[in-house]
Structure 1
């Protein structure tokens, strides 16, 4: 009877290992849903009765301690479980439960010690390895935690909680060598395990940037009965990456039916809305970015501007996100400056000279988004503030709100003249800037970039000289291009290192052809002709349909993929258009 009561008592901890309690310790896998409160009371009565008969029964102490832990009575639970393992040092399950109580009591060192005692008794306990991993993860020991979760999965490839934690750590560690292959191996051994299929889909989505393959695994997980908000949210992201926006929105809505307040899903849904130019709803959801873990906290003492009258008031606009974002959102600054008594602009220090030139009535302060707000304390009194990425919420709520501008940023005219003379020395013909790689690994660099060699058909167009606008080290690529293909790509590193000089160079070029990079935003903000080569599922800034202009930049034209990574046909279309453009000019 005691064994049955212990098993029933174990069930009441089952929810601690279910989705939504990802930082809680796991419980034995044979347990199911929670038992009715009457069963819990019956179990407690049995344990109390047994302890009256035998105060030193390890099993009864363990059962009572487990029930107390479930109820949050951590102090008595810890005492009873500690007594159980004192009386029976090889009681592995009691050691695990004692570790769980320590972990819930925010004593990770004691918890780790208890889990290791359990493993000393039974090193084949997947449960102990998993909970040890959770403990190590809480202590930011990610490498050790990864190994513990791996041990748990080696023992039980279907251990869903261990798998979710292990995959999350691999993503944080940028998928060390062999991790993706190991995950695929586990999934192959359990083709009917929904957790494994969802995990492989997540890896394809975030590591290998293959949304098509991710969708296949997400679909398999759904077919196997998985119905988690996170799964439907990731499914939506993969569909969005393939330009299947209606289906993506349907997946996001499924996720939100399960978890209406899921911030990540609501945010990605807002990006889908922005992609299809539903700005009214899109900008509202876009505000959720401010709550993200990766978003730097700026504790300004000024209130957030809510769109009210700014006559006679001073507003601070502060920087966020990347250089391209700062440039793009700066298109709203003329609107804000016109409405405010005085405008102060914080921007990246590389943009400060150009912003001062472009917005002469504003006070521009260059710096870093990670600077302490106190560094602005010397400024005149400020009435309110707003992050630059929130300006469209007030000024770009409809497609008609985007101005048909000829450029709102200004390059240094003297340097533009210098670069015109320098480029003229290359000989007659169009002078065209080229960029083939954009972003970082975290911003899908491989998905939105192409090898330089892919541009060879474009670089062979006669009557044009091509200039590299590529940021970062690229001299070896350019040298190899010339050696293998005989293509000439001019490179001026000094012009790329200094962003104000980059603006002057762009001002002297006849055309910019680029993948999705900051060069697109700089060229468009300067009012220069820009052709963007966009992936099938681009960032929300580039829209999803047609080869027309971008709302942000009337002089930008978008050339889109028709299949993932299918750059060759995009380059061929650009080549044909360039020949026509050359003949017209």
Structure 2
């Protein structure tokens, strides 16, 4: 039994330990163990100290020795879980946490630690449950709030993550981790200035925190710096050699610089370090496709089905995996974006040639277009429930008179039908506009006068600091608005585009013409009719580009390079009517727009 003297020594050691004086605490723990070698508290605390100092295996041995003496201690089991996690043994760590909870079901540290581990392992819903339980029992538990924020973020619930991370910061303002995690969520919300302040606070508290160093690299990257972030990513790797995130950062930098070979090397490094992370696989897929490695790229893209915010599909028939389709009924499920639905619809005619009867699911706005373009198919709008974080689609609408044999997501068709560049040669224009609406729109355009008629979109619907590198500002297009013999019509969609046009016209006297008779956001018959009626469509890599290509209409697509949908080619395989106007990511749009204006001047003159 320990004497009063050894108990006093243990209390002194614990005080040093809690105040961060680890060498002094270690010396006193050793003195206690010399006098009482089987003191479980001394073994446990010394083991935790060794783990905190990076000697995880020694820490494990000490805590396991303590558990042999006091096997019912939930705190020992929870801390053993932390050590096992640091040793790269997540399954054993999970067992330790669950054992701790079996001894003490309400033990908050074990609830919080288990929730954090489950979140990292992809069991996000279960993680959220444990973390919320921990917070109900101890509302001031900062780590539980922080890990709950991480779980919400991984589940796509970024606004909820921000609330949880702000709560963690308020509870633990001197914790470098709470500030670093808040910064990551703020970056997701495009609140870059506030994210930068949070990261600077984190670095003041602990300059060597690898997560904060890595996040600072991504912050600079989002601010369109393409050299400086590399220093931060490499520093993060030195601080934490087993950390996958900075390898993905270096992969992105190499990709944006056009070095696809280097990008793939870093991407493969990240996958070796985090082989089960869907987002790393999905970014790797983009790089593979951009480099022309089609079959491997499509396989990697299948990881989108494991993303936490994926659409959950209830009531589907078996997945089609290349079986013969003659006489079979195949359901092609809608991808999450309208642009992807249109892009991958290019493959549908080839499926019909194999003798399959098609059932198509699509966005409700595409119903008239798809029914007209694929008249032999049964076309149905998807029924989506849930929310943007956990969308759910049900398939109780599928016909029962002749059941559907197989189902496949539209984007997964490429794995079977687009394995080489030669496969794209089979693509023909496949969308059909409403002929009556085309006549009406052409009448509208004819009333505006003669000359080359141009439809222009300058950006996509959603604007963020990171996405906007792919898009232009309306004022960038001033060189084409005064071209002699040409008229420019807005085909921009989304929100606030009309305000942008009014502002530009007020400031410069120039801008595209708005066609108030057309709904160019939600009415795809109007959109297809306008694209069919103009002489040329100019747009970024967006839904409009695939509409132009699907109609076989002359489309001038401006974009940074590399762009993965070129699949390593100079043009756009499968879409010969789309002409590429590309620039390096780090350059401005000025030269590209000058080239487009020059080409338009020549076209108008003819």
Q: TM-score when scaled to structure 2?
A: 0.78
SS for the counterpart of 2:314 is coil
> Out of 477, 480, 484, which is 2:503 matched to?
480
Distance 2:77 2:238 in 1: 40
From 451, 472, 481, the equivalent of 1:459 is: 481
Q: Does structure 2 conserve the Cα–Cα contact (< 8 Å) formed by 1:313 and 1:342?
A: yes
Whether the 8 Å CA contact 1:434–1:468 is kept in 2: the answer is: yes
After TM superposition, give the deviation of residue 241 of structure 1 in Å. 3.4
Q: Pairwise CA RMSD of aligned residues?
A: 3.4
Moved more, 139-148 or 279-288: 139-148
Alignment of 1:48-447 (within 5 A): 71-72=96-97, 73-74=99-100, 78=104, 98-103=107-112, 104=114, 108=131, 111-112=134-135, 129-134=142-147, 142-151=161-170, 154-157=173-176, 159=177, 162=178, 165-171=181-187, 175=191, 178-187=194-203, 192-205=208-221, 208=223, 210-224=225-239, 226-368=241-383, 370=385, 371-377=393-399, 380-403=402-425, 405=427, 407-441=429-463, 444-447=466-469
Q: Is the 8 A contact 2:328 2:405 kept in 1?
A: yes
- Equivalent of 2:576 in 541, 546, 554: 554
Cα distance change, pair 7–260 in 1 and its aligned pair in 2 (3 A) = farther
Instruction: Say if 2:47 and 2:62, in contact at 8 Å, map to a contact too.
Output: no
Contact kept, 8 Å, 2:437 with 2:525, in 1: the verdict is no
Shift of 1:458: 2.1
Name the CA shift for 1:444/1:359 in 2 (closer, same or farther; >3 Å).
farther
Give the 3 Å change call, closer, same or farther, for CA 275–64 of structure 1 in structure 2.
closer
Which string of whole-angstrom CA distances, capped at 9 and with x for unpartnered residues, describes residues 219-271 of structure 1?
Answer: 33234454412221233234323433111101011122323344322222111
Q: How many residues align?
A: 527
Distance 2:356 2:226 in 1: 48
Distance 1:154 1:453, change over 3 A: same
Aligned 1:515-554 pairs, distance under 5 A: 515-538=540-563, 540-543=564-567, 546=570, 549-554=571-576
Residue 433 to residue 312, structure 1, CA distance change in 2 (3 Å): same
- For residues 304-325 of structure 1, the C-alpha deviation after alignment (integer angstroms, 9 at most, x for no partner) is 1111111111111111121111
Select 1:33's aligned residue among 52, 56, 68. Answer: 56
Instruction: Look up the match of 2:523.
Output: 498
Q: Give 2:26's aligned residue.
A: none
Distance 2:257 2:42 in 1: 48
Q: 1:395 offset after TM fit, Å?
A: 1.0
The superposition leaves residues 521-574 of structure 1 with CA deviations (integer Å, 9 ceiling, x where unpaired) of 101100000011102454x2245664xx20131110111122436111111111
User: 1 CA distance for matches of 2:247 and 2:237?
Assistant: 9
Q: Taking structure 1 as the reference length, what is the TM-score of the superposition? A: 0.80
* Structure 2: runs of 5 or more not aligned: 1-5, 14-28, 34-40, 83-95, 116-128, 386-392
* Partner in structure 2 of residue 582 of structure 1: 604
Gaps of at least 5 residues in structure 1 are: 16-27, 49-59, 83-97, 120-127
* Cα separation, 2, equivalents of 1:13 and 1:191: 23
* Contact persistence 1:68–1:77 (CA under 8 A): no
Change (3 A) 1:442 1:475: closer
| Alpha-carbon spacing, 1:468–1:37, altered in 2? closer, same or farther (3 Å) | closer
**Alignment deviations for residues 255-296 of structure 1 (CA, whole Å, 9 cap, x no partner):** 223233443222221111111222121111111111112221
- Tell me if structure 1 keeps the 8 A contact 2:101–2:111: no
1:314–1:7 CA distance, 2 compared to 1 (3 A): same
What is the CA-CA distance between 1:378 and the residue it aligns to?
A: 5.4
Contact 2:210–2:240 under 8 Å retained in 1 = yes
Q: Is the 8 A contact 1:316 1:385 kept in 2?
A: yes
Q: CA contact under 8 A between 1:136 and 1:144: conserved in structure 2?
A: yes
What is the CA-CA distance between 1:329 and the residue it aligns to? 0.3
Which residue matches 1:9? Answer: 44
State the Cα distance separating 1:194 from its structure 2 match: 3.1
Inter-CA distance 186–554: structure 2 relative to 1 (3 Å threshold): same
Decide whether the 8 Å contact of 2:298 with 2:415 is kept in 1. yes
Residues in 2 aligned to 1:45 and 1:309: alpha-carbon distance in whole angstroms: 60
Secondary structure of 1:35's aligned partner: helix
The Cα offsets for residues 500-524 of structure 1, whole Å up to 9 and x where unpaired, read as 1110111011001111221111011
| CA distance in structure 1 between the aligned counterparts of 2:604 and 2:230, rounded to whole angstroms | 42
**Equivalent residues of 2:220, 2:229 under 8 A apart:** yes
Larger deviation, residues 255-264 vs 273-282: 255-264
Deviates more, 1:478-487 or 1:384-393: 478-487
Q: Are residues 454 and 410 of structure 1, via their aligned partners in 2, closer, same or farther at CA, if it must alter by over 3 Å?
A: same
The secondary structure found in structure 1 opposite 2:576 is strand
Distance 1:459 1:68 in 2: 68
